[in-house]
Amino acid sequence: MYVVFPYLVAGWSGFFVMAVELLGGRLMAPTFGSSIYVWGAIITVFMLALSLGYLAGGRWSLVRPSVARLGAILLVAAASVTPILAFGADALDTIALAVPDPRYGSLLAASALFFVPTFFSGMISPYAVRLLVRDRATSGRHAGQLYFVSTFGSAAGTLATSFYLVLILEVNHILLALVAVSFAIGIPACLTRRQVDE
């Protein structure tokens, strides 16, 4: 299971990020609409948060890397989605009133709601690569396999959310399901005590 967890967490994280990004458009539409400004703001925030998360994940992986810590990152990413469920609508209304320009209002709203969970999700792939790589000779193969799994998860999350989930469930119910699956994967990972040799 030690080798399985990095792939499982990375694949699910890819699914999770794309599902949240698509649902972000649905959440923001009643307040800001669904214009190109709104989608530009959402995509910008997700790309920026992921890029910073990649940096942070790579650096954090240098200090006592372990599957337990990888699971903890996933749990934090999932937990940081829960405020959206409780306060998301009110936050969007408050931001829309404070920043009436739809471009900057939607950019601020997307940042407030989605930056933190996306940042922590971005930490997962580089951290998982560190757990898999044992020597330079196989580092490229492991990194390629890991990013294949992560990107495949992203594609699956995009299709599943846009083609099926939004048709049968409310947005908040989908978010709850995403959080639940993240906890179902993250908690067993946190209970794995084996540590990678630095």
Give the whole-angstrom CA distance, residue 50 versus residue 122.
4
- Report the range of poorest mean pLDDT among 40-54, 98-112, 183-197: 183-197
Q: By residue range, what is the domain housing residue 170?
A: 4-190
Mean pLDDT of 103-131: 97
Q: Per residue in 54-107, pLDDT tens?
A: 999 999 999 989 999 999 999 999 999 999 999 999 999 999 999 999 899 999
Block residue for tokens 């337990």: 68
CATH number at residue 81: 1.20.1250
pLDDT at 142: 87
**Quick check: is 195 in a domain?**
no
**Quick check: is 196 in a domain?**
no
**Quick check: is 72 in a domain?**
yes
**Quick check: is 103 in a domain?**
yes
Instruction: Label residue 160 by pLDDT band (50, 70, 90).
Output: very high
Q: Which amino acid is at 130?
A: R
pTM value?
Answer: 0.94
Encoding tokens for residue 140? Answer: 């490229």
**Quick check: is 197 in a domain?**
no
Handedness of CA 39, 172, 118, 96 (dihedral sign): positive
Our count of domains for the chain comes to 1
pLDDT at 194: 61
pLDDT at 1: 54
**Quick check: is 52 in a domain?**
yes
